[in-house]
Amino acid sequence: MYTINNQIAADRIIRYETLAEGMKDMLAAIGIDWDGWLPHAKSGTGKSAVQKGDYRSHYDEETSALVAELYAPEIAAHGYTF
């Protein structure tokens, strides 16, 4: 919900994998000081070795193709690979 006619309509997109840095930069740009604190409700709890590994290990050929098709615009727009 950040596009209009398939064009990104947001001033800034913050990637989840760099959330703290992105939030700090964005807030600084609008004049708000922020100490960088974010809640970690479930951080590190109950994760198996598979969950900690490469996300691609959770997908087979069929599900990989489905994700690649369904999320092609997001993957391309944000420079991800899948």
In the chain, where the domains are located: 1-38, 46-82
Residue 49 confidence class, pLDDT cut points 50, 70, 90: very low
Is residue 53 scored above 80 in pLDDT?
no
Cα 66 to Cα 59: distance, rounded to the nearest angstrom: 10
Confidence band for 80, pLDDT divided at 50, 70 and 90? confident
Average pLDDT over residues 2-13: 88
Please name every residue paired with 4 in a beta bridge, in sequence order, or none if there are none.
7
Cα separation values, 21 from 24, 26, 77, Å: 5, 9, 20
pLDDT, mean over the chain:
85
Structure confidence at residue 79 (pLDDT): 87
Average pLDDT estimate for 51-65? 84
Element (H, E) at 18: none
